[in-house]
Amino acid sequence: MASFAHSATKIYCNKILPERFDHGKDEPHFGKIKINEKNKKNMDLKLVTNVASQLPVIVSPLDQEFVKKEKKLAAWTSVCQERWEGELVVEGELPLWLSGTYLRNGPGLWHVGDYNFRHLFDGYATLIRLHFENGRLIMGHRQLESDAYKAAKKNNKVCYREFSEAPKPENFLSYIGDMAKLFSGASLTDNANTGVIKLGDGRVVCLTETIKGSITIDPMTLDTIGKFEYSDSLGGLIHSAHPIVTDSEFFTLIPDLINPGYVVVRMEAGTNERKFIGRVSCRGGPAPGWVHSFPVTEHYIIVPEMPLRYCAQNLLKAEPTPLYKFEWHPHSKGFMHVMCKASGKIVASVEVPLYVTFHFINAYEEKDEDGRVTAVIADCCEHSADTTILDKLRLENLRSFDGVDVLPDARVGRFRIPFDGSPDGELEAALDPNEHGRGMDMCSINPAYLGLKYRYAYACGAKRPCNFPNTLTKIDLFEKKAKNWYDEGAVPSEPFFVARPGATEEDDGVVISMISDKKGEGYALILDGSTFEEIARAKFPYGLPYGLHGCWVPKK
């Protein structure tokens, strides 16, 4: 851990990022930060000495064009260099109790050479860390050294199957070879660009939806340590991008495309061994529904069966289909299944209205006066059963906002799954979606409320017109109200709640987000979890790409 015993009121960086500016006219300057031998010694900051000015430029011609012309689009522009690290100047006051590291992962590099990717989810993983200590803030970012990323750099082409990109076969024979590699999983990406989790034993793992894309990193240096190998023989090629992780365990779902269903597994902290809990067979369709995430309650695991289903034929295609690797099967209907964590038995399985969601927010058990569970409530960011959200996340669409309101409506979708044997469950908006501008995704809660009745959710909402969620919103599910934060032209990333140690109120803590602003710059933003007012911000040396999900690594 870096120590900050010195009083570095003025730290300079006169030599950062020369390669970033090779193509521009500016001599690089970053606020008050100068990295020289004296400061390095004083600061005991190995972090800062890591500034990687020798690393190669990764700005594509198209990206540079963007940055110059459209100053506001750093969110959708590839990260400009492999890594950077340094102290940020904080405006406002960081709480002294905020001690630890917020890590965020996301697809931050969307090209190989001159070839530009299509979809937000295709980009190579960019990790960002915000290290808080004694009211100070060190930021670092770095590319994840996945096999997919290393191979793309080495060969100057896409070498693995990404969300929508696939290697271009050179001839018919190589096409046949690629097919074989697809079945074995060898051609699937390990580009772990979706999220980053801290396991109960302290290991930090980047994830995507391919199982091989589970990669351990060092949260201090952002070094790629290596593959997280599951030691069991459960197999599978894909899993949920969002396992449920606590200090003692990890749950995930493994979709079974051959015999449509889901295998539900648990891995104890300190092990690499997933153990079988139970299996859910699909009720609806030819294939399991996409399970980007799922929720749990105290005693149950909720397995969603969404009518947006994996599609084996689409998996085999080199060119993307309108719904990528998925297909919309409204006739196959939507279901929610509830499995007992302890026995693996299905205790409820209901048909629900059609729905589309990436992210479940939380779930909890509803009980009668004798303490018997009568239903499970499960909340998600629900896109009005409209799959067009996937298309809206194409980079071309994200990069071309012209003032027309094109973001499809979303809401907090609340499922009620009754335990009385009735065949149907309910799905309704938990609050009027106009409270958050009919935009809703990228959510977090106070982790102490995981699986329990909870009141607050933090998410990205919308101020219309927009083409992407552009506000931070605090949802009060009891009062059915929202408080919104907005900076005109800015794109905020997932608001991440960190509780104050010792807090007794659910919203006593801070909310961290990273903002890509309309000037092409960016900053870390810290809001008060209760008032939702800004308490501090710290400007980045340059705008950073949009990112997806993060985790908190508290100071040991």
Ligand X SMILES: CC(/C=C/C=O)=C\C=C\C=O
Ligand Y SMILES: CC(=O)/C=C/C=C(C)/C=C/C1=C(C)CCCC1(C)C
Binding-site positions? 242, 292, 359, 549
Q: Which is nearer to ligand Y, 208 or 214 (CB)?
A: 208
Which of 11, 356 has the CB closer to ligand X?
356
Give the DSSP H/E element, type plus range, for residue 175.
helix 172-184
What does 30 interact with, of ligand X, ligand Y, none (CB < 5 to 8 A by kind)?
Answer: none
Q: Whose Cβ is closer to ligand Y: residue 189's or residue 467's?
A: 189
Site for ligand Y in 173-192 (CB under 6 A): 188-189
- Is residue 164 close enough to count as binding ligand Y by CB under 6 A? no
Angle formed at CA 285 by CA 312 and CA 214, multiple of 5 degrees: 50
Under rule CB under 6 A, how many of the chain's residues touch ligand Y? 17
Q: Is 163 in the site for ligand X (CB under 6 A)?
A: no
CA distance 329 to 326: 10
410 binds, among ligand Y, ligand X, none (CB under 5 to 8 A by kind): ligand X
CA 376 from centroid of its chain's CA atoms: 25
The residue count of the chain comes to 556
Burial of residue 34, with CB atoms counted within 10 A of its CB: 0-12 exposed, 13-18 middle, 19 or more buried: middle
Q: Does 265 bind ligand Y (CB under 6 A)?
A: no
**Is the CA virtual torsion 510, 523, 126, 462 positive or negative?**
positive
Stretch that binds ligand X, among 209-217, 281-289, 335-343, 434-442 (CB under 6 A): 434-442
Put residue 532 in one of left, alpha, beta given phi > 0 → left and psi -120 to 50 → alpha: left
Site string for ligand Y, 527-556 (x = CB under 6 A): ---------------------x--------
Beta-carbon contacts of residue 468 (< 8 Å; ≥ 6 apart): 392, 398, 401, 407, 491
Q: How many helices and strands, by DSSP H and E, does the chain display?
A: 9, 34
Written as one letter, the residue type at 97 is W
- Count the residues of the shown chain that bind ligand X, applying the rule CB under 6 A: 9
Contact of 292 with 360, CB cutoff 8 Å: no
In single-letter form, the type of residue at position 216 comes to T
Contact between 39 and 96 under an 8 Å Cβ cutoff? The reply is no
Residue 208 interacting entry, from ligand Y, ligand X, none, C-beta within 5 to 8 Å by type: ligand Y
Paired tokens of 135: 């009211």
Residue among 442, 490, 512, 551 that touches ligand X (CB under 6 A): 442
**Binding status of residue 469 toward ligand X by CB under 6 A:** yes
Which residue carries 């009060």 as its tokens?
A: 476
Q: Is 457 in the site for ligand X (CB under 6 A)?
A: no
What is the closest distance, in whole angstroms, from the C-beta atom of residue 123 to ligand Y in the complex? 8
Task: Quickly count: other Cβ atoms within 10 Å of residue 174's Cβ.
Answer: 13
Integer Cα distance of 458 and 144 in angstroms: 27
Residues 58-87 that bind ligand X (CB under 6 A): none
| Collapsed DSSP state (helix, strand, coil) of residue 399 | coil
Q: Which is nearer to ligand Y, 121 or 262 (CB)?
A: 121
Compute the least distance from the CB of residue 210 to ligand Y, in Å. 6
Q: In the range 103-132, which residues lie near ligand Y by CB under 6 A?
A: 107, 121
Selection from 478, 441, 439, 438 nearest residue 458 by Cα = 441
Largest CA distance in the chain: 72
The residue within the footprint of ligand X, chosen from 390, 548, 551, 553 (CB under 6 A), is: 548
Nearer to ligand X, 300 or 358 (CB): 358
Cα–Cα dist 450/547, whole Å: 23
Per partner kind, with CB cut-offs from 5 to 8 A, the member of ligand X, ligand Y, none near residue 515 is none
Q: Is 490 in the site for ligand X (CB under 6 A)?
A: no
- Measured from the CB atom, the residue of 469 and 541 that comes closer to ligand X is 469
37: Cβ contacts below 8 Å, ≥ 6 apart: none
Contact, 333 vs 307, CB < 8 A? yes
Could you tell me whether strands 249-256 and 111-112 are parallel, antiparallel, or unpaired per DSSP bridges? unpaired
Per-residue x/- marks for ligand Y, 312-351, CB under 6 A? ---x---------x--------------------------
Beta carbons within 8 Å of 186's beta carbon, 6+ residues apart: none
Cβ neighbours of residue 54 closer than 8 Å, sequence gap 6 or more = none
Interface stretch with ligand X, choices 155-163, 348-356, 437-445, 510-518 (CB under 6 A): 437-445
Binding mask 190-229 for ligand Y (x = CB under 6 A): ---xx-------------xxx-------------------
Residues annotated within the binding site for Fe cation are 242, 292, 359, 549
Q: Binders of ligand X among 174-213, rule CB under 6 A?
A: 194
Residue 389 touches which of ligand Y, ligand X, none (Cβ within 5-8 Å per kind) = ligand X
Cβ closer to ligand X: 338 or 380?
380
List the end-to-end C-alpha distance of the chain, in Å, as a whole number: 9
By CB under 6 A, tell whether 159 contacts ligand X. Answer: no
| CB closer to ligand X out of 195 and 425 | 195
**Please, what is the minimum distance in Å from the beta carbon of residue 237 to ligand Y?**
7
Q: Which chain residues interact with ligand Y by CB under 6 A?
A: 107, 121, 161-163, 188-189, 193-194, 208-210, 238, 241, 315, 325, 548
Q: Which chain residues interact with ligand X by CB under 6 A?
A: 194, 358, 389, 410, 439, 441-442, 469, 548
